[in-house]
Structure 1
């Protein structure tokens, strides 16, 4: 089957594949939004009326004006346009709409295989925070802004390519303008840092969003990043539109008033010191088993590879010590933004009860239990697919 590609403003629409891409990354849009874009592009030499859109996109079915307006807004959002700018889709009051961007048209012959499309590599820049530490950051995708708080191990480039972490990041970048940054001492950020305290984790998040001039955004906190997100939301409630937490906890192991959890905290440090990133070492395999209890040899290799790139031995010890000292329990009843909490029911690293504690204490929070033993579900699991769907659905309601 032959088809046509339309290229404009860094985007490409392929009618054969029914895909909208930007820089090689596929942008997820509804079928009616795709059809609307194609019709406007094909008829870009003139203004297209609402009645014509009803005939061509909705085959004459009754559709309200608000539905058409919503699809126009979705189309603009997908191609980084707005109702105020209108540099790609222009509204002509009482007449209709016109596609006004410059378009290059190419025909795709029948039988030609589709091009290999993959997400582009993140473009990394650096933000200098208040104590002079430089944090690696990147912004990918288009749409509503979603900021992921840094957590235990981050490496922007490695996470983007690693099969354990990449699927979720690619999915989120297909729906949102996704902001990622490596925490202090981790990834591509400055490694030689003296203070990796929780207070600095919170101030680093503040400095990143301030430097990027992000006024309002959704916030995603995973694992130790959940507490960072909670603290920031309490400090800046008017800036956070929605809060999504996964595998989070209000109290680190040394703050749970339990001799068992304090012993676990010390055991983690022993395992880290004894066998950091040594796949052949029993201590390292025991450490990994808390994150991925039933990891295949390949998953274990991928997990270890990500850790080796994200953290040095010293920064791993400092980060582990910092998260074990977290205590945001007094802040939970102060969270007022819409909140979704997901947690794996049989999480071996952070017990499900920690997720329940967050859900009980945060007013009107929604709890999404996931049937998995892993701390962060891997995308071969049904739990990962459910997590992704629920996350995108919740965060899209901005």
Structure 2
């Protein structure tokens, strides 16, 4: 028998569902189709000019044409440590920072560095698609803990307690959340962090949406709120969402010096340094004002209210109002099994994946099904797109889903 051409480890990885939906939407647009894309979590704003200018100036300097330290430019690592203290009150030294090729590499580096085969990671669900894949690649076992819309997609300590075993090593904590936009209150953050500390668990906290909260809801860093966690916490972050820099690919991880040194060793063999030009752009971003994100938040807040109202106007859709990020997570379980008229006859989708495919085919609106983030029965929509597109897309959904029998 011939050996498999692709390893089992890589064959088991699922394609990023969010990127797949976004790619299909963009391909249809390029073919002249009027597709409205709610798929990718990507601000529709340009990167602020002063950040772009910093990159232009860096590109003209020969020293940035060379290799630089695998763990990041020293001046950027220092600025990230200072920015973290400024924004969340968490104090770290530059030696505790690793600059990565986007937030995804920070996620992978962290799990690859902390996990041994069979170690379990508690993953509050719905989850961002990359987390469980990165955990599995590192030999770990993701343990899903699902919180539905009736609890605003926020897990409780009681749920976490029921999921912990003697193999549990890490609690993944994400607030504000992708894909749901839910935000844990300061009291909930403290309670969950203290529980994790009492169990001796590591906490990996993704804080990339830290500046995107609404309705006066505060962002609370679990690393700051629960000092009892000690040196068993890793913070993941990046410039993508705050500064509209998704394509620049600069993220970072902050953690204990020994973990960061080990993760830097890994990165030195995987990719070496992040491109110096984006690093200098990121330096301008994290060292500069938060004016750009404050301006974006005004638009995001307006769109948030519009999309929630529009989706909740559809019979059979329940869409909680998110308090952070730029996503809504709509419960569409009541729409499954219903009959939808199409040019080829009526169709009865039984899963949210089938419903999402039907919506794209019939009314050219791209949404991401719940299967990408956990159980079926939900749709994630990003409202980080233009107001006109948002209104058009929601109107198409209202018209099509309203025809269900």
Structure 1 length-normalised TM: 0.24
Higher RCO by CA contacts (8 Å cutoff, separation 6 or greater): 2
Identify the structure with the greater strand proportion: 1
Structure 2 length-normalised TM: 0.23
Larger Rg: 1
